[in-house]
Chain A
Amino acid sequence: MKRARVAYAGTIQGCTEHPGGVRLDDGRVVAESAVVWLPPVETGTIFAVGLNYADHAKELASARPQEPLIFLKGASTLAGHCARTRRPSGVEFMHYECELAVVIGRAGQNVSRAHALSHVAGYTVANDYAIRDYLENYYRPNLRVKNRDGCTLLGPWLVDAADVPDPQCLELSTAVNGKITQRGNTRDMIFGVTELIEYLSSFMTLGPGDVILTGTPQGVVNVNAGDEVVTEIEGIGRLVGSIVDDAAYGIAPAT
C-alpha cells in the first residue's frame, strides 16, 4: 500500500494510487499533475545521517565515521514531490542527495536491532539538497548548508513497511535533466536502518512521525536553476524536483 498527502481544489487529502492518476480519500480520481504534492507524512523529528555510504564519504574526502554522524532538520526545510528549490545567486556548488527515508510508526526507546523494523511505518524517497559554499567546520554539516527552506524533498509516496521486506537491497539513482548522475544500493550503507534505529533510540525516544534520512551514495554533481532533478528508489518512488533562481522567490540578485 502506498499513500500520499496532496492538496486538491482547496482541500488537503490523503490519496492512493489509481490507474487514472490518484484516488483522493473523498473518492475523486484526478490526474497526478492536477494535485499539489505535500510531504507524505506529518513529520516529528527529522534526522539525517552524513557520510553513511563509504564511497560518498571518500568522495567528500572524509573519514569513514566510527558511529553514525547524525544531524537534525526543522520542518521549514521540507517540501513535497515536484517542489521548486531555490539556488541562491553567487553560489558555486549546490548538489542533490538521493536518500531512503525511514518513517517511524511506533514510539520506542532502547530498541534492539532485532525489533527495529517493527517500529517502522514505511519508507519514502528524500532529496536532501546541500549548498556546499556555506559549509563551515562547526557542528558540521551546519544548518545553513542543510536546513534551508524547501531544500529537503520527501515523497511522493509513503510505502508501507510490510511491502518492503528488506530495506537494505534497494537501488537508488538520481537523474539530472534525464541523465543518470548518481547510482547506489542501500546495501552499501555503513549503518543500516536497524542500526540507526538502535543507535538513536539508545539515547532518545523515537516517536511516530519521526523520519530518518539514511544518507546518500557517491555521485553528487552541481545543479543549476532550470535543472530537473529526479531521485528514485526501487519500489519506493520517483521524486521529482527542479531548481529555480532568486527571482522565483522575489529576491533581487546579489550585486
Chain B
Amino acid sequence: MRAFRYPDASYRPPWPKGTVCGALLNYAGDLETLAPRMRSAPYLAPPRAPVLYLKPRNTWIGPGDAVLLPSSAAGVCAGATLGVVIGQPCVRVPERDAAEFVAGLCVINDLTLPHAEVFRPAIKERCRDGFCPIGPCVEVADRKGLGAAHVMRTYIDGELRAEWSTRQCVRSIARLLADVTDFMTLHAGDILMIGTPRDMPLARAGERVAVEVDGIGRIENPIVAEEAA
C-alpha cells in the first residue's frame, strides 16, 4: 500500500493539469431538504449561482493510494462524483455548445470530513492531503455522451452505500459549465466536478472505499489512520 504525501513526485494521477473545481448543493434533493433553513441566518436566501469550491493539488491521488484519516475524525465522507475534464479554454460557453469543450469524463471520490454548515468554505474538511482520488478518464464523443444519465455509486468494503444519477442534478454538466465559465475561465486539463449529495456514507480507518460511474471507471482507496501510516 502506498501512502503518498504531497509533494512526492510520484503522487499525481494523469489528470488533472490545472484546477479542480466542484459544485456544492447540486443534488436536487439537498435543496429540498435545506429549503426551510435557507430562509434564515446565516443563509437568508437559497443559492442563485453555482456554489463552488476547489480541490487543490495536495488532495489529488490515484488508484490504491491511501487516504489518511486524522485521529480527531470518526471517518471520512465518501462521495462518488463525475469529473468533467476540460479540453480547450472555456470562456462564457453557451450551454448548447458545452460538449465541444469537454475532453472526457472521469470518476472522482470527493472526500470530506463531516461538517454541518455550508456557510464558510470548509477548507480544513475538504482539502486535506489525499482527499481527492481521481480515477480513469474516458473520452466523450458528443453531446449525447455528455447529457446521458450517469449513475455514480459509492462502496465501502464492497457494499453499495450510495447511488445517485446526473438526472438528479440541479444543474446539468452543460448548464454548470455555462454558469461557471461566465466568470472564470477553465483551461484544458482543468476538472469540473458535478457534486455529490450532502448525505454521504462515512468510511472509517481500515475500510476500503470505492467509487464508480457506469461506462467511465472505478477507483478504490484504503482509509488509513494517520498515526498508523
> Which A residues fall within an 8 A CB radius of B?
44-45, 47, 69-77, 107, 109, 134, 136-144, 147-149, 203-205, 207-208, 251
A76 — which chain B residues lie within 8 A by C-beta?
Answer: 19, 184-187
| Cβ–Cβ contact B186 & A136, under 8 A | no
Q: Which of A45, A138, A149, A203 contacts B118 (CB under 8 A)?
A: A138
| Cβ–Cβ contact B183 & A149, under 8 A | yes
| Cβ–Cβ contact A77 & B5, under 8 A | no
Q: Which of B119, B184, B190 contacts A77 (CB under 8 A)?
A: B184
Interface size on B, residues (CB 8 A): 42
Query: Assuming the A-B contacts A134-B49, A136-B45, are A72 and B24 also in contact, with contact meaning beta carbons closer than 8 angstroms in the complex?
Result: no
A148 — which chain B residues lie within 8 A by C-beta?
Answer: 183-184
| Cβ–Cβ contact A205 & B184, under 8 A | no
User: In the complex, what residue of chain B is closest to A208 when comparing beta carbons?
Assistant: B7
| Cβ–Cβ contact A142 & B184, under 8 A | no
Most B CB contacts (10 A, CB to CB) among A107, A134, A136, A139 go to A139
> Which B residues fall within an 8 A CB radius of A?
5-7, 18-19, 21, 24-25, 42-45, 47-49, 51-54, 56-59, 70, 91-92, 118-124, 127-129, 183-187, 190
| Cβ–Cβ contact B7 & A138, under 8 A | no
Query: Assuming the A-B contacts A77-B184, A148-B183, A149-B184, are A139 and B120 also in contact, with contact meaning beta carbons closer than 8 angstroms in the complex?
Result: yes
B25 — which chain A residues lie within 8 A by C-beta?
Answer: 138
Q: Which of B21, B47, B56, B187 contacts A138 (CB under 8 A)?
A: B47
A139 — which chain B residues lie within 8 A by C-beta?
Answer: 24, 51-53, 118-122
| Cβ–Cβ contact B57 & A138, under 8 A | no
User: In the complex, what residue of chain A is closest to B187 when comparing beta carbons?
Assistant: A76
Q: Is the interface of A mostly helix, strand, loop or mixed?
A: loop
Query: Once bound together, how far apart are the Cα atoms of A144 and B48, in whole Å?
Result: 11
| Cβ–Cβ contact A137 & B123, under 8 A | no
The 10 closest A-B pairs by CB, nearest first: A74-B19, A45-B56, A72-B54, A138-B51, A143-B52, A76-B185, A70-B123, A205-B6, A71-B121, A207-B7
B59 — which chain A residues lie within 8 A by C-beta?
Answer: 204
A137 — which chain B residues lie within 8 A by C-beta?
Answer: 42-45, 119
Query: Once bound together, how far apart are the Cα atoms of A137 and B117, in whole Å?
Result: 11
Query: Once bound together, how far apart are the Cα atoms of A47 and B122, in whole Å?
Result: 13
| Cβ–Cβ contact B58 & A204, under 8 A | yes
Question: Can you give 20 A-B contacts (C-beta < 8 A)?
Answer: A44-B56, A45-B58, A70-B124, A71-B123, A74-B19, A74-B190, A75-B19, A77-B184, A134-B49, A136-B45, A136-B47, A136-B51, A139-B51, A139-B119, A140-B120, A144-B52, A147-B184, A204-B127, A205-B6, A207-B57
Query: Once bound together, how far apart are the Cα atoms of A76 and B183, in whole Å?
Result: 10
Query: Once bound together, how far apart are the Cα atoms of A144 and B53, in whole Å?
Result: 11
Query: Once bound together, how far apart are the Cα atoms of A109 and B42, in whole Å?
Result: 33
Query: Once bound together, how far apart are the Cα atoms of A144 and B7, in whole Å?
Result: 29
**In whole Å, how far is A57's beta carbon from the nearest beta carbon of chain B?**
13
Q: Which of A72, A134, A138, A207 contacts B127 (CB under 8 A)?
A: A72
Query: Once bound together, how far apart are the Cα atoms of A160 and B143, in whole Å?
Result: 50
**In whole Å, how far is B123's beta carbon from the nearest beta carbon of chain A?**
4
A144 — which chain B residues lie within 8 A by C-beta?
Answer: 49, 52, 183
B128 — which chain A residues lie within 8 A by C-beta?
Answer: 203-204
User: In the complex, what residue of chain B is closest to A148 when comparing beta carbons?
Assistant: B183
**In whole Å, how far is A84's beta carbon from the nearest beta carbon of chain B?**
16
User: In the complex, what residue of chain B is closest to A74 when comparing beta carbons?
Assistant: B19
**In whole Å, how far is A197's beta carbon from the nearest beta carbon of chain B?**
14
**In whole Å, how far is A125's beta carbon from the nearest beta carbon of chain B?**
22
| Cβ–Cβ contact B21 & A74, under 8 A | yes
B129 — which chain A residues lie within 8 A by C-beta?
Answer: 109, 204-205
Extra pairs beyond A137-B42, A149-B183 (10, CB < 8 Å): A44-B56, A71-B123, A72-B127, A77-B184, A139-B53, A139-B120, A147-B183, A203-B70, A203-B128, A204-B6
Query: Once bound together, how far apart are the Cα atoms of A149 and B58, in whole Å?
Result: 23
Most B CB contacts (10 A, CB to CB) among A44, A144, A148 go to A144
A138 — which chain B residues lie within 8 A by C-beta?
Answer: 24-25, 43, 47, 51, 118-119
| Cβ–Cβ contact A142 & B52, under 8 A | yes
Query: Assuming the A-B contacts A204-B128, A204-B129, A205-B6, are A75 and B18 also in contact, with contact meaning beta carbons closer than 8 angstroms in the complex?
Result: yes
| Cβ–Cβ contact A149 & B24, under 8 A | no
User: In the complex, what residue of chain B is closest to A137 when comparing beta carbons?
Assistant: B43
Query: Once bound together, how far apart are the Cα atoms of A147 and B211, in whole Å?
Result: 30
Q: Which of A71, A140, A143, A251 contacts B184 (CB under 8 A)?
A: A143
